[in-house]
Amino acid sequence: MASDLVKAIASSGLTIYDSLDLRPELYIDTSTLEKILNEALIGLNLNYPIRTRSKVLKSNICKALGYPVPGSFRRTRPRFLGQDFDTSVQKANNLQIWNEDVSSSRRYVLVRVNDGQVVARVKVVTGDVIAKLDKTGTLTTKYQARSRDPVTESCLVSKTDTRNVARSLRGTLLPIKKLYKNLQTIVGTTIFNPGIDQERNRGAALHEAICKCLNNSWSDCGRFPDVPDQLLEIKLQTAPTIDLGLVCPDSTERIAGLADL
């Protein structure tokens, strides 16, 4: 019985990070895991900012499976080590797995939410099922960074442009100090809030505000960098960790369309 298994996990004293090699009877098979999570999660409100949403989901999964909720969740791979599964909240069918290949043996808990951000269905599949749907076989990589010191106000991190950029300063391309000064004028500007989980659309609103500030025509066409004629990449941050995207700042590769940089 699923309920007996949950009770056994609760009384074991184990956490989601503990191996079950010595307690294989506590391993929840895939179909039972899906059944437990559907019963526990359907109807759960996940209308939170993305990072908060992730913590709320994982906390409720811990409770559903009989595990204690940790004070903070470690960045392990997978997130639920003992039961060998990762979680993903899905509003659409395009599943993205960052910075690692799909593991054929790992389980993936896919939590579908409706337009109101309420859990409508949970599906648990193994990696081999997902791998069959991957038509590209390309590893999706995302770089991140974090300041060593707390950031409490606007600051110009690099005081001068690189040699390559300095040699190319011409026309409308501003020196970095001038660019920083111009961007300071948008501090305090209110941008459109499309919803707490709509970070992409919120970022597009910030992109538009910056282009107006720089007297650029706004066009969010997914190019890198976001504002090509100022070599400017835009990141909207609601947490200390900066999501740099697919290009690392110290990359030496030439920028497509800008042959001399």
138-149 confidence digits (pLDDT tens): 545 567 787 777
Query: What percentage of the chain carries pLDDT values higher than 90?
Result: 41
Name the β-bridge partners of 119. 113
CB 70 within 8 A of CB 55: no
Residue 18 tokens read as 């503990």
Average pLDDT on 238-249 reads 75
Residue 8 is encoded by which pair of tokens? 């056994």
| Percentage of residues in the chain having pLDDT higher than 70 | 89
Question: Residue 110: its pLDDT value, please?
Answer: 94
Q: What is the mean pLDDT of the chain?
A: 85
Which tokens in the block code for residue 261? Answer: 């940089």
* 56 pLDDT more than 90: yes
CB neighbourhood size of 65 (10 A): 22
Backbone φ and ψ of 13, nearest 5°: 80, 5
CB distance 230 to 216 below 8 Å: yes
**pLDDT band at residue 247, thresholds of 50, 70 and 90?**
confident
CA 46 to chain centre: 16
Nearest of 49, 50, 69 to residue 59 by alpha carbon: 69
pLDDT in tens, 69-84: 999 999 898 999 999 9
| pLDDT value, residue 41 | 98
pLDDT at position 198, please?
74
Q: Mapping DSSP to helix (H, G, I), strand (E, B) and coil, where does residue 59 land?
A: helix
Confidence (pLDDT) at 137: 55
Cα radius of gyration rounded to whole Å, the chain:
23
What is the per-residue pLDDT for 95?
72
Q: In what order do the strands lie in the sheet with 119-126?
A: 85-90, 107-113, 119-126
- DSSP string of 183-200, one letter each residue: HGGGTT-------TT-HH
What pLDDT does 100 receive? 64
**SS3 state of residue 90:** strand
| Spatial CA neighbour of 66 closest among 5, 22, 23, 19 | 5
Span 37-62, average pLDDT = 95
What is the model's pLDDT at position 147?
A: 77
pLDDT of 97 higher than 70: no
Would you give the distance in Å from CA 174 to the centre of its chain?
32
Residue 224 pLDDT more than 80?
no
- Does residue 191 or residue 116 have the better pLDDT? 116
